[in-house]
Chains A and B, each alone.
Chain A
Amino acid sequence: MAAKLNEDKLVRRLQAKDKSAVEEIYDSYAPSLYGIALHIVKSEAIAQDVVQETFIKVWKNAAAYDTKKGTLFTWLLNITRNGAIDKTRSAAFRRRRQAVPVDEHLKNNHQLSTAQNTDQIGLRSFVDQLEDKYREIIELAYFQGYTQQEIAEHLQLPVGTVKSRVRIGLRELRKIFSEPGLTHLLIAAFCLSVWWFVV
């Protein structure tokens, strides 16, 4: 609740055109947003552009954000995700995507993420808990901006199967992130990393 109140305050400052609010938002969310952009566009330079454009949009359109309609992070994430997906829709990206088979494409994604794991703040192991067939659909829909029809074509599956996998995949995802032990596990992991840094 306290976090929610702080977030409301932060948003009010942002909407009042207080630049220090942008800095605070950056400090809190830049790694997540940059990581997502990088995951989508697979280029550090373009990912940086995406993050910069995200914050410019956030600054310009702060008034349009309604705290009742979702968290600040969801809003930021959607702007970043859409910005990054737009980049991948440029002619150059399309050519690359067509040249690389989907399986290979996903594998590459995974390799890129793993390679940067040392810098990662999140805990990738949770993603790995999701079965591949669900994960690839979430990847294509959420991170690559594919339509259901496109996913069906790429995975050579009937659209109906795609729809049911979307439903089950999200249910699984919710299960993973709402497990009662998750919070404890996160705290334990945090403590462990702090201990590791100190020692």
Chain B
Amino acid sequence: MNKDKFLQTGLLEQYVLGLTDEEETAVVKQYADTFPEVQSEIDQMREALDQYAKQYAVMPPEELKSRVMHGVEQADQQSDADAGAPGPARSGSNWMGAVFLAVLIGASLFLYRGKAAAERDLASLENRYIVFQEECERQKAALQQEQQVFATLTHEATVPVRLQATGLQANAEAVAYLNGLEKVAYINAGLLPELPTGKTYQLWADVEGEMINMGVLQQQNKGLQAVSYIDHAESLNITIEPEGGSAKPTVEQLVANGEV
């Protein structure tokens, strides 16, 4: 068939519209290769179809470009693994999604563990802080007390009273400090000999022949101990009494005394 006759068959038009079967396609390609006019006809028809198609142009959503570029990027990474046809476009993002989810779960677990550990540490630190704070308060109170005692002892109105052993018990000695201005009294009972259990030392003030209780002495307290201040005391006396102290002194058990 000559080329002019071939151009009249309508096979070219069917070819550009994709309507020819394999055999017909081969024939068209053969003519196109042989006759440049045939190829030119094909090009022109294709150009017309391109123009026709372009009239349906619609602006794609802006995010499509980044999706496309991402897809290309992914295809590049996978190209070695599967050189065949690309899978569904979504598979890339699904795969990414799965990885992302796994990373997210991993990160969550990691952070949760971190948080639990941090909470434990915080609780422990809080406890230690409370202990330190209490200790600090205690130290502060003790210091205040010491300062107060020191202030009293160095006060010009403070009078020391040395209590001597009566002979009933060896080395039964103590020193008391009386301040009539501030009405406070201290005694250092740490020097007194140790008593058997069930017994205690008690301090008395002699006011015009009457013994007035100044308090039970704590033997384990090695420093100064505050006791009641009694006005107009002529002398201070220490007796041994049953544990808890007595309302009246056991005069037979007077172990030390001293004039004020």
Chain A positions within 8 Å of B, measured between CB atoms, are 17, 19, 22-23, 26-27, 30-32, 34-36, 38-39, 44, 47-49, 51-53, 55-57, 59-60, 70-71, 73-74, 77, 81, 113, 116, 119-124, 126-127, 138, 141-142, 145, 147-148, 163-164, 166-167, 169-171, 173-174, 176-178
Contacts and interface: CB of A to CB of B under 8 A. Distances in A.
Interface in B76-90: 76, 79, 86, 88-90
A35 B58 contact: yes
Contacts of A124: 55-56
A74 B52 CA distance: 12
A22 to B, nearest CB: 6
Contacts, number: 161
Contacts of A119: 58-59
A52 B19 contact: no
Nearest to B51: A177
A31 B68 contact: no
A170 B16 contact: yes
Given A49-B90, A124-B56, 14 more contacts: A26-B65, A38-B58, A52-B64, A52-B68, A56-B86, A70-B46, A113-B56, A121-B54, A121-B59, A122-B54, A123-B55, A145-B18, A170-B13, A177-B51
A55 to B, nearest CB: 5
Interface core residue of A116, A126, A174 (most chain B CB under 10 Å): A174
Contact of B58 (A71, A116, A164, A170): A116
Interface of B: 10, 13-14, 16-19, 43-61, 64-65, 67-69, 71-76, 79, 86, 88-90
Given A74-B46, A166-B17, A36 B72 contact: no
A123 B43 CA distance: 22
A59 B60 contact: no
20 contacts: A27-B65, A36-B56, A48-B60, A48-B64, A49-B90, A52-B89, A55-B71, A55-B72, A56-B75, A59-B72, A73-B50, A120-B57, A122-B57, A127-B52, A141-B17, A166-B19, A170-B13, A173-B45, A173-B49, A177-B51
B229 to A, nearest CB: 96
Contacts of A38: 56, 58
Pick the most buried of A47, A55, A164, A169: most chain B CB atoms within 10 A of its CB.
A55
Contacts of A32: 53-54, 56-57
B48 A138 contact: no
Contacts of A116: 58
A66 B73 CA distance: 23
List the 6 closest pairs (A to B, CB-CB), nearest first: A122-B55, A167-B10, A34-B60, A35-B58, A35-B57, A35-B56
Contacts of A122: 54-57
A166 B53 contact: no
B83 to A, nearest CB: 8
Contacts of A145: 18
Nearest to B75: A56
A52 B67 contact: yes
Nearest to A162: B19
Nearest to A44: B61
B52 A173 contact: yes
A49 B69 contact: no
Of listed B49, B65, B74, B90, residue having the most chain A CB within 10 A = B49
Contacts of A26: 65, 68-69
B135 to A, nearest CB: 68
